[in-house]
Structure 1
Amino acid sequence: MRARVIELRVALTGQGLDAGPMTIAWHLEREQLRAPSTSTIRRILHGANLITPEPRKRPKSSYTRFEAAQPNETWQSDFTHWRLADGTDIEILNWLDDHSRFLLSCTAHRPVTGDLVVATFLTATEQHGVPASTLTDNGRVYTARFGGGRNAFEYLLPVLGVRQKNGSPGHPQTQGKIERFHQTLKRWLAAQPAPDTLRELQAQLDRFRDHYNERRPHRGNDRRTPGDRYRATPNARPASPREGHFRIRYDHVGSNGKMSLRRAARMHHLGIGAAHRGKRVLALIDETSATVIHLDTGEILSTHTIDPTRSYWRNQQQEPGRWPGS
């Protein structure tokens, strides 16, 4: 047993994975072995000189710990930096469920923009449902409140009934779970071959996400994997969810003043207006109508009645006929 504990410590550390006593005990149990107590495992590691003393490390008991009661009650988000083999700086954008530590999204960009925050959030909601709230820092990609006005993300959340929460400036402990997650991610990436391209880095992140969610016990989850805990209880929902079935589409108005939308295997074209060409928009589509909102201002640019028999849906806010500037 002592030899296997040491083997696991060396193997997990070499892969950039967590290799603490609790994790080692979890792996032993999965091997159908009777694991010793974590204190015994810790003594074995000390005896083999495999633990580096950290006398200045702040004790966990000194922290006030908060955890959402349900999956999707709060999603935390932040991004961190990594470098390709040639030194190119890449930003990795993450979405993490506060309750379970389930990694909802992990994507590499050069760089992260407000548009990408919206796009990755929408992709995550399509896969996992809409959260009740989000928690981020005060970065410009998440909020424009210190510069006046609102950004695209701040316009999107109220449409979905999602409450936006931002940590206090200069107080990263509020987003402590995702800050700690970044340490885990970087330790794993450091043990992998340096990627040459953005695509190679994304492939590594995809492998990490699968391992982190489904094959790694988490101390904060009572030694369950994030995936197990995320699926264990019903998900929270927004306090004021939009009624009925709907979908959302994040796009730009084309140079012809139109936006294309596929519905029931047929392509339709929404006439928004040539005056709005190039604008960033959010389209909200339900069973009977489509509403297009300008993400920079929050202005409703057009409304459209859904007619499956027609390929072109005109803007109901404009009188029929040729519009000025079109």
Structure 2
Amino acid sequence: MSSKHRVVVLKIVSGQLTVTQAAAEYGMSRQYLHKLLARYRDEGLDGLQPRSRAPLTSSQAVTDRVRVRVVELRHALTAAGTDAGPVTIAWHLEREGLRAPSTSTIRRILHTAGLIVPEPRKRPKSSYIRFEASQPNETWQSDFTHWRLADGTDVEILNWLDDHSRLLLSCTAHRPVTGRDVVDTFLTTIDAYGPPASTLTDNGRVYTARHGGGRNQFEYVLAALNIRQKNGAPNHPQTQGKIERFHQTLKRWLTARPRAATITELQTQLNTFREHYNTTRPHRARGTTPATAYASTPKTAPSGHDDRTHYRVRHDHVDTNGKISFRRAARVHHLGIGATHRGKRCILIADDHTITVVHLDTGEIIATNTIDPTRTYWRNNEKEPGRWPGSSS
């Protein structure tokens, strides 16, 4: 292009062509030709070399302050055991009042600083098919992972995670996780967030007994609350991919801190982590915190559920008189179950109006009792009305 500019300009200055004639012959605007002539007068033929069209200054240019802060955040977040990727760094920059560059620019800054290790064999994001619940409480994922205390004692950390928002609903330490732990943490979480429409877990015995031809405690509770149970295919952990990746995040955070000496100390760390995970770090899939994502979308629920309903669960057994004692509002009431069920192990599921008693060995509902604060004895609605066991004729 510069040779064409030279020819046109030299023909004009030598008088062979006027500006108007040169514009018509060479397909250039008269305005552009006058600009070339001005550059020739100021700089000679060198002034006719092609020039960049980029602006001399850019409002998007990354300042030295931002570059330094990107590197500082990378070091600080990594040392804290939390996510330190470009999305998270950009989120922190914005919170600090700095104009965050694009994530690709942040990645280049980190690469230039030697803080990114290339992963040439990593699968491209386009090769993944993402499955995500469309609303909070549509699906809760659960799983547990192993961790060791300072003396080498193995403990298990049980987690409940909302599939849509990634909100960490519950994070508790056990030695080991039992079926009762799963039920208790699940019902406690329901009291805080309302019941989910479904759950997604692996096929561990604390979650399902379907391969043995029956149901376990957790499955009885799901059936009683009309919650759909979903289980991943055996030997296919990708189904629970979100919570598997979450376990990596959790362990990275724990590793960056002194190892807990007791299970109580570990639970304190887990409580701190849960607050941090939910409210002070953005999730990379959304660019916002899980707590914000959970709160910003209407919740779903099992069919027929009233959002104002709260649940309480208790494990008990039927006494020799066919009753179970139940404390409510500092007063003891007696649930009529039936003498034929004496000694049976049960789960009691109480909502605001009714208590449902499920036999643990069979999953059979053996009693429903209407809550009546004015009465001491609540009869079994599954049976015809009769006398209080042990009363006189």
Q: With the length of structure 2 as denominator, give the TM-score of the two structures.
A: 0.76
For 1:283, the equivalent position in structure 2 comes to: 349
- CA deviation after TM superposition for structure 1 residue 293, in Å: 1.3
2-structure distance, mates of 1:44, 1:184: 24
Q: Deviations over 1:28-85 (max 9, x none)?
A: 1100011122122111111221112222222222111011110000111111111000
Which segments of 5 or more consecutive residues in structure 1 lack a partner in the other structure? none
For 1:236, the equivalent position in structure 2 comes to: 300
3-state SS in 2 of match to 1:186: helix
Larger deviation, residues 1-10 vs 72-81: 1-10
Kindly indicate whether the alpha-carbon contact (under 8 Å) linking 1:282 and 1:295 is maintained by their aligned counterparts in 2: no
Kindly indicate whether the alpha-carbon contact (under 8 Å) linking 2:323 and 2:334 is maintained by their aligned counterparts in 1: yes
2-structure distance, mates of 1:298, 1:52: 53
- Of 301, 304, 312, the residue aligned with 2:369 is 304
Relative to structure 1, is the Cα distance of residues 321 and 22 closer, same or farther in structure 2, using a 3 angstrom cutoff?
closer
For 1:210, the equivalent position in structure 2 comes to: 275
Relative to structure 1, is the Cα distance of residues 322 and 254 closer, same or farther in structure 2, using a 3 angstrom cutoff?
closer
For 2:288, the equivalent position in structure 1 comes to: 224
Matched residue pairs, number? Answer: 321
Kindly indicate whether the alpha-carbon contact (under 8 Å) linking 2:169 and 2:189 is maintained by their aligned counterparts in 1: yes
For 1:145, the equivalent position in structure 2 comes to: 210
Superposition CA RMSD, Å: 2.1
Larger deviation, residues 73-82 vs 289-298: 289-298
Q: Deviations over 1:286-320 (max 9, x none)?
A: 53x43311133112233334332333334453842
For 1:38, the equivalent position in structure 2 comes to: 103
For 1:70, the equivalent position in structure 2 comes to: 135
For 1:185, the equivalent position in structure 2 comes to: 250
The answer to whether residue 76 in structure 2 is matched with residue 11 in structure 1 is yes
Kindly indicate whether the alpha-carbon contact (under 8 Å) linking 1:253 and 1:272 is maintained by their aligned counterparts in 2: no
Larger Rg: 2
Kindly indicate whether the alpha-carbon contact (under 8 Å) linking 1:253 and 1:280 is maintained by their aligned counterparts in 2: yes
Kindly indicate whether the alpha-carbon contact (under 8 Å) linking 2:70 and 2:89 is maintained by their aligned counterparts in 1: yes
Larger deviation, residues 99-108 vs 49-58: 49-58
3-state SS in 1 of match to 2:210: coil
The answer to whether residue 92 in structure 2 is matched with residue 27 in structure 1 is yes
The answer to whether residue 222 in structure 2 is matched with residue 157 in structure 1 is yes
- CA deviation after TM superposition for structure 1 residue 283, in Å: 2.9
Q: Deviations over 1:225-267 (max 9, x none)?
A: 0000000011011134379846342221265664333334433
1-structure distance, mates of 2:310, 2:79: 47
- Of 121, 136, 141, the residue aligned with 2:201 is 136
For 1:79, the equivalent position in structure 2 comes to: 144
- CA deviation after TM superposition for structure 1 residue 153, in Å: 1.0
2-structure distance, mates of 1:219, 1:303: 46
Q: Which has the higher helix share?
A: 2
1-structure distance, mates of 2:290, 2:75: 24
Relative to structure 1, is the Cα distance of residues 242 and 260 closer, same or farther in structure 2, using a 3 angstrom cutoff?
farther
1-structure distance, mates of 2:379, 2:74: 64
Which segments of 5 or more consecutive residues in structure 2 lack a partner in the other structure? 1-65
Greater RCO between the two (CA within 8 Å, min separation 6)?
Answer: 1
